[in-house]
Amino acid sequence: MLKDYFQLRTLSLIIIGDFNPAIIQPFWLAKKGLIKEQEANSAKVEIVHPQLTRYDLDWVFLEISENRFVFNSSKEPFFDIVRDLVSGIFTFLPETPISAIGINHLLHYTLPREEQYLELGNRLTPLRNWENVLDDPKLLELNITEQKRRDKHKGHYAVKIQPSELVPKYGVLFSINDHLALEEGETGRETELIKRLNLIWNESKERPERVVEQLWTNLNI
């Protein structure tokens, strides 16, 4: 099973909308009771500026620009807490319009043997099709999209497979993009998309491992 080769999972939650970066500082989060005061005190603040705010709370890295709000975490025990933080922030900012949410689950694996690593690319996109076209062709990146979401919400689900730069050799990265868009008639205000994020969160969190495991089984490497 592919899970035997699991190395690391990270979360990158990206929110698209209109934001005021200077507001969302660590002490604002602590004042609203969304993080601990001690976390606000020890936050590693890179920049707080009307156009860009960036800081690290140790369990989550935040970057807020005028149109993009990013939460990154490489600590799996905190993924639910990151979701709570997102939900909490926008509960306090109900008039902030949000046009899309991308929940990006990044799963890194290390395959034990070079043959398996190369065969993964060959099974995903048969390289015999490239005979007499390229010398010694290799797959570098593959994107596959589920255009309509299974849960019928507006958005899509996509899987990207590429070499992992984080883990030792023969590393493979599966990037799952669970994308939520506005339904017809929605304004993006009153936490419409945040409520939907909360609704799909558990499934969004669980599905990536099922996806990569089923794919690995299908590829029969």
Partner 1 sequence: MSSTVIQNQTLIEGEFTQNVRNDSADRILGMVSYFKDNRIWDIKDPLDNLKWDSVNFHIPSMSKYFPIDYKNSFRKSQNWIGYVTEVYPNSFKAKIQDANIQNSTYEDAEFDFEDIENEDKKLIKLGNAFYWSVGHEIRRGTLSKQSIIRFKRLPKLSSADFDEAIDLAEDLNDNINWD
Q: Which residues bind partner 1 (CB under 8 A)?
A: 6-10, 12, 32-38, 46-47, 49-52, 54, 61, 63, 65, 68, 70, 72, 74-78, 80-81, 84-85, 87-88, 91-92, 104, 106, 166-167, 202-203, 205-206
State in angstroms the smallest separation of the CB of 203 from partner 1.
7
Closer CB to partner 1, 52 or 118, in the complex: 52
- Residue 189 CB, nearest approach to partner 1 (Å): 14
Residue nearer to partner 1 on the CB measure, 7 or 122: 7
Of 64 and 181, which CB lies nearer to partner 1 in the complex structure?
Answer: 64
Report the chain's C-alpha Rg in angstroms: 20
* Min separation Cβ 156 and partner 1, Å: 19
Closest CA to 174 of 191, 158, 151, 193: 158
Q: Quick one: 9 or 182, whose CB is closer to partner 1?
A: 9
Per-residue burial over 152-179, b if 16 or more Cβ lie within 10 Å, else e, is ebbbbbbbbbebbeebeebbbbbbbbbb
Instruction: At 15, list the tokens.
Output: 């929110």
Q: How far apart are CA 119 and CA 97, in angstroms?
A: 45
- At its nearest, how many Å lie between partner 1 and the CB of residue 114? 21
Q: Which two tokens stand for residue 83?
A: 């979701």
Minimum distance between the CB of residue 140 and partner 1, rounded to whole angstroms? Answer: 16
CA–CA gap between residue 197 and residue 83 (Å, rounded): 8
Q: Where are the beta strands (DSSP E) in the chain?
A: 6-17, 44-48, 52-56, 61-65, 68-73, 98-110, 142-146, 155-163, 171-181
Rounded least distance, CB 35 to partner 1, Å: 7
- Nearest one of 83, 97, 58, 125 to 192, comparing CA atoms: 97
Nearer CB in complex with partner 1: 66/115: 66
- CA dist 190 → 25, 31, 102, 110, 170 (Å): 22, 21, 18, 43, 45
In the bound state with partner 1, the residue whose beta carbon lies nearer, of 48 and 118, is 48
